[in-house]
Amino acid sequence: MFINIKNDDGHVAPFEKLPCSAITPKNGMAMVLSSGKLAIASDTNRPEFICVEEHGAAVTAGDLVTVVRVDEETIFETELSAAGDSLNIGDKVTIATDGLRVTATKTNGVAELVYLDDTAAGGMVQVRFPA
């Protein structure tokens, strides 16, 4: 999951409620708007929002879900979905298909690594999403 740990300018992102597609929103899930509804951000989709509520099952398309908007000043903590032995600070990696983690894939990456704690699968990293 993507956890907001720092904003460079100190602001606190306000909550927004937006319509969601028929998915199971998870706290910390990276999301994008697709056809006017929130969908999971994955691969090379730069997240526009991070979900801040948890559902045990899929919501009905159009249900409102609480999110915060992603900006370039926010640093998020998450984990690697696969080992990233060749990763370095400054590399940009893609988003895992679950929208909750980053991959070790650098091709067309959207999440810039700003801290690496452990490069093993499941290792903690910190990222930002530059425009």
pTM for this predicted structure? 0.92
Identify whether 55 is part of a domain: yes
Identify whether 114 is part of a domain: no
**64 pLDDT above the threshold of 90:** yes
Share above pLDDT 90 across residues of the chain, in percent, rounded to a whole number? 89
Task: Give the chain's mean pLDDT.
Answer: 95
The alpha carbon torsion through 55, 14, 99, 87 (nearest 10 deg) reads -140
What number is the average pLDDT over the span 42-52?
Answer: 96
Tell me the H-state helices in the chain: none
Which pLDDT tens digit goes with each residue over 73-89? 899 999 999 999 999 99
Identify whether 47 is part of a domain: yes
Measured distance CA(72)–CA(9) in Å, rounded: 11
Identify whether 113 is part of a domain: no
Identify whether 52 is part of a domain: yes
Structural tokens at position 69 = 């908007």
Give the total number of structural domains in the chain. 1
Which pLDDT tens digit goes with each residue over 14-25? 899 999 999 999
What number is the average pLDDT over the span 6-17?
Answer: 83
